[in-house]
Amino acid sequence: MVFTAEKCISCGECAQVCAVKATRFDRAPRIDWKLCRSCFACVEACPAVAREAAGREFSAEALTKEVLKDREFFGADGGVTLSGGEPFSQAKFLAGFLPLLKKEKIHVTVETCGHFNWEPVAPLMKMVDLILFDFKAVHPQLHEKITGKDNQLILKNLRKILDLKIPHQIRMPLAPGFNDSEEELAAAAQYLRDELHEPELWLIPYHRLGESKLKKLFTGLKPLGLSSMSEKDLRVKAEFIAAHGIAVRTFNFSVEAKATKNT
């Protein structure tokens, strides 16, 4: 359940229908998540639609039917993109869903952070047409600092995907002050070039589009307070990486790799 405070009209209907008293009303609604059963009675009762269910559960068959409703909009190059959370953490569901998509000859792209158990996912890879792989940092300590996990499993999975020769894009989301130092960018370029023999890297500039969701989700997480990265700043980073022998792609421009002593 997500709550948009700006929509709330302070009617108190949510507190009246809550059977376990997880919602109280004192000028503004208060929610005790330890008591909440996610029954969504408060969602149904809210006349202002300030409370909403954040998602729906689907069977593989029902989700396939939902996908097929938009098939005419796919065009020659379109299809289905499985995105985050982490799609490959739902291997059991994908084992039923992907065969249905391939039966319909639908192109399948998967966005992954790379942190997943390979064994249940391996049989599914033959049904994936394109992988968009997050590459947040090379140094394990830095990766753990900014994400809470080191990157050993991630890099192992990346190598396995490359060995399978699945079409892919390696993407580095750049957050100013976190993973955009020259030291880290040079290390990333060297790792791609010398260890993985990959010729290019996609750069994804940090943006603030998700910050408005934080207070709706009652997570306690706070915005980072960073400014969105400008195209000018992104181009400077791209030129630096290209100088280390890796071609750089963004959604707005590309920079070809420069010759280095290592190539």
Give the mean model confidence (pLDDT) for residues 219-231. 84
For residues 207 and 79, the model is more confident at 79
Is the per-residue pLDDT at 262 higher than 70? Answer: no
Counting Cα atoms < 13 Å in the Cβ hemisphere of 71 gives 12
Give the mean model confidence (pLDDT) for residues 149-162. 97
For 76-108, letters b (16+ CB in 10 Å) and e give eeebbebeeebbbbebeebeebbebbeeeebbb
pLDDT digits (tens, 9 = 90+) for 33-75: 889 888 999 999 999 999 999 888 999 999 999 999 999 999 8
pLDDT digits (tens, 9 = 90+) for 122-137: 999 999 999 999 999 9
Quote the pLDDT of residue 3: 87
pLDDT more than 90, % of the chain: 75
Question: Is residue 174 helix, strand or coil?
Answer: strand
Quote the pLDDT of residue 263: 46
Is the per-residue pLDDT at 215 higher than 90? Answer: no
Quote the pLDDT of residue 222: 82
E strands in the chain: 2-3, 23-26, 28-31, 51-52, 79-82, 107-112, 130-134, 168-174, 200-205, 247-249, 254-255
| pLDDT grade for 162, boundaries at 50, 70 and 90 | very high
Quote the pLDDT of residue 261: 63
Closest CA to 135 of 200, 222, 227, 210: 200
Give the mean model confidence (pLDDT) for residues 2-16. 89
Of 84-88, 113-117, 225-229, the range with the lowest mean pLDDT is 225-229
Give the mean model confidence (pLDDT) for residues 141-150. 94
Omega of the bond prior to 12 within 30 degrees of 0, cis? no
Give the mean model confidence (pLDDT) for residues 81-107. 96
Quote the pLDDT of residue 111: 98
Retrieve residue 155's tokens: 């890099």
pLDDT digits (tens, 9 = 90+) for 241-250: 999 999 999 9
Structural domains present in the chain: 2-52 (3.30.70.20), 60-255 (3.20.20.70)
pLDDT more than 70, % of the chain: 99
